[in-house]
Amino acid sequence: MPTSDQRQRSREAGMGRFRDRGMVTAELAVSILAALALLSLLSWGIGLIVLQLRCGDTAAEVARQAARGDEAGIARAKRDAPDGSVIMIDKSGDTTIVTVRLEARPMSALVPAVPLTASAEVVTEPGESG
């Protein structure tokens, strides 16, 4: 049979458990928020990679069309560029260099804009001048 000391300790232990009630809920809420923040940053990173690839594709296509002297092709390729990108074409000598620059704006004002740049250099076709 438990003594009064043992019963007192048992009651205090039970009260300690009562005070900890809801602790798992709070930890779960914090964990979910942290997971959502991580997911948001990962999706932003993947979006940056996609934008960088689009800039590279645009630079390559514009460079090919500029090296051929195809103005209509250049206009079509520029339409496929990411919104807000700046395309510079430099024909010097026998090469055509195209640079695409873009300031990638994040979903939140807390994350700074990321500058993206892609370049392509092709040999200008004979008969085309800079």
Per-residue pLDDT of the chain (130 residues; tens, 9 = 90+): 667 666 666 666 555 555 666 677 888 899 999 999 999 889 989 999 999 999 999 999 999 999 999 999 999 999 999 999 999 999 988 999 999 999 998 777 777 889 999 999 999 988 766 5
Tokens (6 digits) for 98: 């195209």
3-state helix, strand, coil in the chain (%, to 5): 55, 20, 25
Q: Which amino acid is at 79?
A: R
Closest CA to 123 of 56, 64, 55, 77: 64
pLDDT at 40: 87
User: Structural domain boundaries of the chain?
Assistant: 4-123
